[in-house]
Amino acid sequence: MPSHETMRRVVQEHVDAENVHDRERVVATYAVRDPVFQDVPAGLRFTGVEEIIDNYRNLWDGFPGLVRRIDRWTIGDDACVIELTLTGTHDGDYRGIPPTGRKLALPIIAHFAFDEDGRIKQETAYYDTLTFMRQLGLSRPRS
């Protein structure tokens, strides 16, 4: 299993690469064999780097200035969990949702499992879909 220092370094590099939409750097943080990204609230699972990168491209197209800020770290013996805030403006098409021009500040929990080489073998994201929809103006609170 990778050390705590390795897990933290790899996840930080992963987030930094996502923030500048650097495909090659993102790919370099994932395991070589069958990495998985799971978006639990959306019910989506992507296997292999090409599917995972297509998912990121979709997100980057919908939110061109998207930034992730890590707010808290929890590192265990074989996994790392981060609490982060995803910020950006919905300026492009995202999964069939036309641009709303609305700002997003979405809290997310992301769990990372690693392979024996210290690369990400699975990333699992959890967030509140109602918060996401409300921030994009697609759902209104009851009065």
Which residues form the domain of 46? 4-135
Q: What CA dihedral angle connects 49, 28, 68 and 136, to 10 degrees?
A: -20
Secondary structure of the chain: what % helix, strand, coil (to 5)? 30, 35, 35
**Does a structural domain hold residue 36?**
yes
CATH number at residue 47: 3.10.450.50
Q: Each residue of 46-73: pLDDT tens digit?
A: 999 999 999 999 999 999 999 999 999 9
For position 143, what pLDDT does the model report? 66
**Does a structural domain hold residue 141?**
no
**Does a structural domain hold residue 68?**
yes
* pTM summary value: 0.93
**Does a structural domain hold residue 57?**
yes
- Tell me how many domains the chain contains: 1
**Does a structural domain hold residue 80?**
yes
CB 109 within 8 A of CB 81: yes
**Does a structural domain hold residue 143?**
no
Q: Rounded to whole angstroms, how far apart are CA atoms 66 and 56? A: 11
Q: Give the 3-state secondary structure of residue 97.
A: strand
**Does a structural domain hold residue 45?**
yes
Share of the chain above pLDDT 70, in %: 99
* Residue 17, beta-bridge partner list: none
CB 67 within 8 A of CB 60: no
